[in-house]
Copies of this chain bind each other. A is one copy, B any other.
Amino acid sequence: MNTKDRILDEALTLFSLQGVKGTSVKDIAGAVGIKDSSLYKHFKSKREIFDTIVAKMHERIGEMSNELGMSDEEGGRLAADFCGHLSLDELKKLVRKTFLFYLEDDFMARFWRVANMEQYRSPEVYDVYHRLFMEESIAYQTKLFSEMIEGGYLKAIDPAILAVDFYAFIFFLLDKYNGRPDEKDEALAVLDRQVEEFYRVYHA
């Protein structure tokens, strides 16, 4: 890992623990093991470090979407495929994968916290946080459930209602268990329990 990437990595860690304003360039440089003045050979300002992290988050989300089959081009098709053999275990597995991505991914777990802290101070972060973690997630779930209903795998309830019901507890648990690796098993147990109940009620 080169110095530039190490700066970004340490900055993200410190930002997620102390906030952006609460983290000085000296703190970041110190964590990397260089002097604060040296850091300016890699980034022209603290702001540029933060902006680079936000840009990297967009990349990482794109990768994750592909990994989970949530990309724009393939989302519909994969969802349809998924519908073809929906079982409780598969649903639990998909939810666990998404959940653990946000909870444990080296980058995302820290970024989730930074986004939470900085959303009110940065319109760009507010947009990312609300669009990505709320609107788009709900939109994706709505689309998925809509197709599942069409395929006869879920009861015919308004998919938008199902989406909020389903995504809200994932969001709540992510917010609750972020930064608490010791309670991961508890988090997954609660998650599974809620998915099971959802399946029990809405599976056709």
A157 beta carbon closer than 8 Å to chain B: yes
A120 beta carbon closer than 8 Å to chain B: yes
Contact string against B for A residues 154-182, beta-carbon threshold 8 Å, 1 for contact and 0 otherwise = 00011001001101110111011001000
Q: For A161, list chain B residues within 8 Å (CB).
A: 193-194, 197
Q: Which chain A residues numbered 118 to 156 have a C-beta less than 8 Å away from chain B? A: 119-121, 130, 134
Looking at chain A's contact residues, the main secondary structure is helix
Given A113-B120, A120-B16, does the pair A134, B176 have CB atoms closer than 8 Å?
yes
Q: For A204, list chain B residues within 8 Å (CB).
A: none
**Supplied contacts A18-B121, A172-B172, A175-B175, 9 more A-B pairs, CB within 8 Å:** A19-B21, A22-B121, A117-B120, A120-B179, A165-B169, A165-B198, A168-B172, A171-B172, A201-B201
25 contacts between A and B (CB under 8 A): A16-B120, A17-B121, A18-B121, A19-B19, A19-B21, A21-B21, A21-B22, A22-B121, A116-B116, A117-B117, A117-B120, A134-B175, A158-B193, A158-B197, A161-B193, A164-B173, A164-B194, A165-B169, A165-B194, A165-B198, A168-B172, A168-B173, A171-B171, A171-B175, A201-B201
